[in-house]
Chains A and B, each alone.
Chain A
Amino acid sequence: MSPEKMTMMTNQIASFFATQPDADKAGRVADHLREFWEPRMLEQLFAHLDGGGEGLTPLALEGAQKLRATA
């Protein structure tokens, strides 16, 4: 998966949960990623976080970090 595609997909997920009334929006992003993304996709996302997470929106970044913290 190209980094552009990965960041775009993550941002798309975050952009939905950004509109939802939940208090913990990042948690919802993390849950969605956990529920639907295969481990090697998550590894790629985490590797991208290590590289600074370029291109990720703030909520996407927070969600991904939250997921990694609990993975």
Chain B
Amino acid sequence: MKDFIIPTDMDMGTPASRSLNTVTLTIDGFDVTVPEGTSVMRASAEAGIQVPKLCATDSLEAFGSCRLCVVEIEGRRGTPASCTTPVAQGMIVKTQTPKVKKVRKGVMELYISDHPLDCLTCAANGDCELQDMAGMVGLRDVRYEAVATHFETRHAGGDVNAQFIPKDDSNPYFTYDPSKCIVCSRCVRACEEVQGTFALTIEGMGFNSRVAAGSASDDFLTSDCVSCGACVQACPTATLQEKSVIELGTPERSVITTCAYCGVGCSFKAELNGDELVRMVPYKNGKANRGHSCVKGRFAYGYANHTDRITSPMIRDKITDPWREVSWDEAIDYTATKLRDLQAKHGQKSIGGITSSRCTNEETFLVQKMIRATFGNNNTDTCARVCHSPTGYGLKTTFGTSAGTQDFDSVEHTDVVIVIGANPTAAHPVFASRLKKRLRAGAKLIVIDPRKIELVKTPHVSAAHHLPLRPGTNVAVLTSIAHVIVTEGLMDEAFIRNRCDWNEFAEYAEFVSDARHSPEATGLLTGVDAEELRAAARLFATGGNGAIYYGLGVTEHSQGSTTVMAIANLAMMTGNLGRPGVGVNPLRGQNNVQGACDMGSFPHELPGYRHVSDDATREVFEKLWGVELDAKPGLRIPNMLDAAVDGTFKGLYVQGEDILQSDPDTRHVKAGLEAMECVIVHDLFLNETANYAHVFLPGSTFLEKDGTFTNAERRINRVRKVMAPLNGYADWEVTMMLANAMGAGWTYTHPSQVMDEIAATTPSFANVSYELLEERGSVQWPCNDANPDGAPIMHIDGFARGRGQFIITEYIATEERTGARFPLLLTTGRILSQYNVGAQTRRTQNVIWHAEDVLEIHPHDAEVRGVSDGDWVKLASRSGDTSLRATITDRVSPGVVYTTFHHPDTQANVITTDYSDWATNCPEYKVTAVQVGKSNGPTDWQEDYNAQAEQSRRILPAAE
């Protein structure tokens, strides 16, 4: 091997081979040993020798169209393309011979004869593979006088050039300039192979071959393009180019960091000039995303510099007052005094806080530490309360720990996938692309969802079975699947005997075998076809490696925890745990939901999921922190709001959450916030919750601080500071200032010290440190002496709790029932371009795809109500009403309506109720009985709400 270091994200030309057999060959006199199936191009790259190339890139299968990568191989005729030629034992390759040099120069000459030579003013100047290759092959002269080109607007004679196609700048984030295109097909292949959308194609033949998005009348924006950026990433020229690069120039430095949107946790290179962010580029060594991205992570970062961003602290005595900008000192003193006064007057437990699933592990750890050690109570909670708290309860009960069992790579080994209550193409797009790739390769898919989500039928992917259940009947459906598996004897008896308690299983089997759980019996209430369910059950039990992926459609129900346990039962009875390709995989909503839960954000658990009543655990923290900790659980978010209305809870510190918009039953949340005397919002923007706040502490974005996020696969990824915080302080520093003003005496100078404290106190993090993360890039907990490399897959030889526990899962209908007044069921969710409450994405150009929330309604339900597509409709439940526009679609079944909660103008949560999961109080967002009728526009509630919000956001001019 050549003795220099190959850059870690060098383009190797073709994908890596997975073969375990190796082959040794000689390239330019160097011996190279690579896996069987590797291309000659990649083998050369492994040896540090780059063969010129244009149509090849290592994220895509070799294509062999550009003929630039030709080499000579001893004993073979001609000049084979190195990208499509696999290595063979003893092969002798020469990459730089007079013959191949001549071929390459000839090829380049042809390319360049039809390419504008405006390199100096081209947006890709310095970042163009065509330019690089022209240089590398030593092209000095173009002999051809092109008669026809694709780039000249007029022919030499002055006639209009029909081959010239003007630039398409319909997409807000990138342009398509056909005049720069070399038709290498990399974009088309990226859209197919990496993203799996198939929005692009090559139209025409020969000289008329052109890249096209959608049909003839489409541009990029109106086509099926989802703006994931894979084509831009793959393009070797300026044909597909980020608008930010066109505007700002090519970046000169990059920092590897982690996306702050969904729970996939993609690694990105933040590319900058100075402290100006030019673009975010997916990092190919990122183990969650493997070089892929979605529209949010790659492009929707503009909120960081949005004019709405607040960078000065503000206070006010009453929420009806305008805000007053003050110094940090004054804001912190004011807050600390107010909180201590409230405690003096109303008791130590009258205040609390909410940690953020968008902030770092270190920040979350410090917020719960401040609450437990400085406030002196356990009134800490996090947004996982309203999303994945049932995962915590359910997986801890059955397996012994609250986490997904696999890494994302696992999906590459899956044969049968169940997706239940999740819509990955919208909410976890990069995982969805990886899943679709596996499905295109032959894996089977079972979708259990009331809606016909995109995965049910999408280009080259369709579900083997879609079970469109009635919202709220998850447990009945899953128990029926188990009924089929058990009564037909399809379970994995050896696994159950080895890994679980056989007697316990026998009891469970007796329960589940009862005829009332048969799909024929449950079909009456679930609406699922019995034969379809039986077929799905058989497929899952017998189809090879079975993996279950689930989202909030599982957890956000009155039986959320029971459903999680039903999923765990299914995985255990089919032996689908403890190896690649299987497992129970909760898809986490926010970037750091997993981390926030790990860090002890819940009121009943200290970091590492240890109950506050456990003396030994408390002692660990008491010794280190020098205070006595409360052994009784604190209030959960809904309990805090109830206690506020009751008058016993008076002060709340909210970091990076917008509970007024995101939590259910907005009127109740508002009443709770209104009843408090000191609400502190620590955020980037004056969010909806801030309308009821007394203190606003400006927050910092993920680009402005150091820390770690933990994604849905338990992967701890570094977040790196790429620019100074606009507000002056990273969020962990703000929390520390507040804690210290209340007497904490903390002295952290860097988040790495917080991670050291986490490692010292939490066994599953024992070996995690910033040094380790620098060395490894990322690591999946548990990472300790027993698992020094972390744990990509959990429960390999035994469950965290010892033996897996089967739980009886009896279906119990929710109290939320449809009836004459509210005959439809509302379920809520996300769409691709927006994220959660939209605080970030609404402040980017993503609004072009989703400017408002709309109500999906089935044609039948629309017709009987006289509703046409695009009409304003009033959506009402027993909790409240709101108005929005209707869109008529058969994605929803008759009797079911659907909307998103991204926009405060709609306030979908005015409609949702305060019913919740029996075990964890996770709200029942997914089932609300509603009525839909025609309306003229916004309801009184919406108008009053907006008026209050406008009043509340007034800021007094700063004092002179």
Tell me the A residues contacting B by CB distance below 8 Å: 1-2, 5, 8-9, 12-13, 15-16, 19-21, 32, 34-41
Q: Interface digits, B605-646 against A, CB 8 Å rule (1 contact, 0 not)?
A: 000000101000000000000000000111110010011001
Interface residue count on the B side (C-beta < 8 Å): 31
Instruction: Quote the shortest CB–CB distance from B137 to chain A (angstroms).
Output: 69
Q: Within 8 Å CB of B180, what residues of A? A: none
- Report how far A38 CA is from B602 CA in the complex, Å: 12
Q: Within 8 Å CB of B160, what residues of A? A: none
Is B611 within 8 A of A35, CB to CB? Answer: yes
- Report how far A52 CA is from B494 CA in the complex, Å: 51
Is B648 within 8 A of A38, CB to CB? Answer: no
Which residues B574-624 have CB closer than 8 A to chain A?
Answer: 603-604, 611, 613
Instruction: Quote the shortest CB–CB distance from B806 to chain A (angstroms).
Output: 10
- Report how far A19 CA is from B648 CA in the complex, Å: 35
Which 8 A-B residue pairs are closest in the complex by CB-CB distance? A12-B918, A19-B810, A1-B642, A38-B635, A16-B918, A39-B632, A19-B808, A15-B812
Is B808 within 8 A of A5, CB to CB? Answer: no
Q: Within 8 Å CB of B919, what residues of A? A: 13, 16, 32, 36
Asked if B893 CB lies within 8 Å of chain A CBs, one says no
Task: Identify 5 new A-B residue pairs, CB closer than 8 A, beyond the known A9-B918, A12-B918.
Answer: A1-B642, A1-B643, A13-B919, A20-B808, A38-B639
Q: Within 8 Å CB of A39, what residues of B? A: 349, 632
Q: Interface digits, B459-492 against A, CB 8 Å rule (1 contact, 0 not)?
A: 0000000000000000000000000000000000
Asked if B774 CB lies within 8 Å of chain A CBs, one says no
Of residues B603, B634, B642, B646, which shows the largest number of chain A Cβ atoms within 10 Å of its Cβ? B642
Asked if B401 CB lies within 8 Å of chain A CBs, one says no
Is B920 within 8 A of A36, CB to CB? Answer: yes
Asked if B59 CB lies within 8 Å of chain A CBs, one says no
Q: Known contacts A1-B646, A16-B918, A35-B611; is A41 also within 8 Å of B639 by CB?
A: yes
A-B contact pairs, 24 of them (CB 8 A): A1-B642, A1-B643, A5-B642, A9-B916, A9-B918, A9-B921, A13-B918, A16-B562, A16-B812, A16-B919, A19-B810, A20-B808, A34-B613, A35-B604, A35-B633, A36-B633, A36-B636, A38-B379, A38-B632, A38-B633, A38-B634, A40-B643, A41-B635, A41-B639
Asked if B3 CB lies within 8 Å of chain A CBs, one says no
Q: Within 8 Å CB of B916, what residues of A? A: 9
Instruction: Quote the shortest CB–CB distance from B513 to chain A (angstroms).
Output: 15
Q: Interface digits, B140-152 against A, CB 8 Å rule (1 contact, 0 not)?
A: 0000000000000
Q: Known contacts A1-B639, A5-B642, A5-B914; is A37 also within 8 Å of B633 by CB?
A: yes
- Report how far A16 CA is from B808 CA in the complex, Å: 9
Q: Within 8 Å CB of B812, what residues of A? A: 15-16, 19
Residue of B nearest to A10 (CB): B918
- Report how far A30 CA is from B810 CA in the complex, Å: 20
Asked if B815 CB lies within 8 Å of chain A CBs, one says yes
From B379, B558, B604, B634, give the contact of A12 (CB < 8 A): B558
Asked if B514 CB lies within 8 Å of chain A CBs, one says no
Q: Within 8 Å CB of A5, what residues of B? A: 642, 914
Residue of A nearest to B807 (CB): A20
Q: Within 8 Å CB of B532, what residues of A? A: none
Q: Within 8 Å CB of A19, what residues of B? A: 808, 810, 812
Residue of A nearest to B920 (CB): A36
Residue of A nearest to B558 (CB): A12
- Report how far A19 CA is from B561 CA in the complex, Å: 14
Residue of A nearest to B559 (CB): A16
Instruction: Quote the shortest CB–CB distance from A60 to chain B (angstroms).
Output: 11
Is A36 within 8 A of B604, CB to CB? Answer: yes
Asked if B507 CB lies within 8 Å of chain A CBs, one says yes
Q: Within 8 Å CB of A32, what residues of B? A: 919
- Report how far A20 CA is from B919 CA in the complex, Å: 14
- Report how far A38 CA is from B921 CA in the complex, Å: 13
Is B808 within 8 A of A21, CB to CB? Answer: yes
Residue of B nearest to A18 (CB): B810
Residue of B nearest to A42 (CB): B632
- Report how far A53 CA is from B914 CA in the complex, Å: 22
Q: Within 8 Å CB of A16, what residues of B? A: 562, 812, 918-919
Is A21 within 8 A of B639, CB to CB? Answer: no
- Report how far A16 CA is from B562 CA in the complex, Å: 8
Q: Within 8 Å CB of A34, what residues of B? A: 613
Q: Within 8 Å CB of B643, what residues of A? A: 1, 38, 40
- Report how far A15 CA is from B646 CA in the complex, Å: 27
Q: Within 8 Å CB of A37, what residues of B? A: 633
Instruction: Quote the shortest CB–CB distance from B632 to chain A (angstroms).
Output: 5
Q: Within 8 Å CB of B810, what residues of A? A: 19
Is B918 within 8 A of A15, CB to CB? Answer: yes
Residue of A nearest to B379 (CB): A38
- Report how far A5 CA is from B558 CA in the complex, Å: 13
Residue of A nearest to B809 (CB): A19
Instruction: Quote the shortest CB–CB distance from A69 to chain B (angstroms).
Output: 17
- Report how far A9 CA is from B815 CA in the complex, Å: 11
Q: Within 8 Å CB of A38, what residues of B? A: 349, 378-379, 603, 632-636, 639, 643
Q: Within 8 Å CB of B808, what residues of A? A: 19-21
Instruction: Quote the shortest CB–CB distance from B566 to chain A (angstroms).
Output: 12
Q: Within 8 Å CB of B378, what residues of A? A: 38
- Report how far A15 CA is from B561 CA in the complex, Å: 13
- Report how far A36 CA is from B244 CA in the complex, Å: 49
Residue of A nearest to B632 (CB): A39
- Report how far A16 CA is from B918 CA in the complex, Å: 8
Q: Interface digits, B756-781 against A, CB 8 Å rule (1 contact, 0 not)?
A: 00000000000000000000000000
Instruction: Quote the shortest CB–CB distance from B646 to chain A (angstroms).
Output: 7
Residue of B nearest to A38 (CB): B635
Is B635 within 8 A of A21, CB to CB? Answer: no
Residue of A nearest to B561 (CB): A16
Instruction: Quote the shortest CB–CB distance from A23 to chain B (angstroms).
Output: 13
- Report how far A37 CA is from B182 CA in the complex, Å: 65
- Report how far A13 CA is from B807 CA in the complex, Å: 15
- Report how far A36 CA is from B646 CA in the complex, Å: 19
Instruction: Quote the shortest CB–CB distance from A71 to chain B (angstroms).
Output: 10
Q: Within 8 Å CB of A20, what residues of B? A: 807-808
- Report how far A35 CA is from B609 CA in the complex, Å: 13
Is A8 within 8 A of B646, CB to CB? Answer: no
- Report how far A41 CA is from B604 CA in the complex, Å: 14
Instruction: Quote the shortest CB–CB distance from A59 to chain B (angstroms).
Output: 13
Q: Within 8 Å CB of B611, what residues of A? A: 35
Instruction: Quote the shortest CB–CB distance from B319 to chain A (angstroms).
Output: 23
- Report how far A20 CA is from B632 CA in the complex, Å: 26
Which residues B869-922 have CB closer than 8 A to chain A?
Answer: 914, 916, 918-921
Residue of B nearest to A33 (CB): B633
Q: Within 8 Å CB of B558, what residues of A? A: 12
Q: Interface digits, B75-114 against A, CB 8 Å rule (1 contact, 0 not)?
A: 0000000000000000000000000000000000000000
Q: Within 8 Å CB of B914, what residues of A? A: 5
Instruction: Quote the shortest CB–CB distance from A38 to chain B (angstroms).
Output: 5
Q: Within 8 Å CB of B815, what residues of A? A: 8
Instruction: Quote the shortest CB–CB distance from B815 to chain A (angstroms).
Output: 7
Is B918 within 8 A of A40, CB to CB? Answer: no
Instruction: Quote the shortest CB–CB distance from B226 to chain A (angstroms).
Output: 40
- Report how far A16 CA is from B811 CA in the complex, Å: 9
- Report how far A1 CA is from B921 CA in the complex, Å: 13
Q: Within 8 Å CB of B604, what residues of A? A: 35-36
Instruction: Quote the shortest CB–CB distance from B780 to chain A (angstroms).
Output: 28
Residue of A nearest to B378 (CB): A38
Is A40 within 8 A of B634, CB to CB? Answer: no
Which residues B811-826 have CB closer than 8 A to chain A?
Answer: 812, 815
Residue of A nearest to B349 (CB): A40
Residue of B nearest to A6 (CB): B642
- Report how far A13 CA is from B921 CA in the complex, Å: 10
Q: Within 8 Å CB of B646, what residues of A? A: 1
Instruction: Quote the shortest CB–CB distance from B327 to chain A (angstroms).
Output: 36
Q: Within 8 Å CB of A40, what residues of B? A: 349, 635, 643, 648
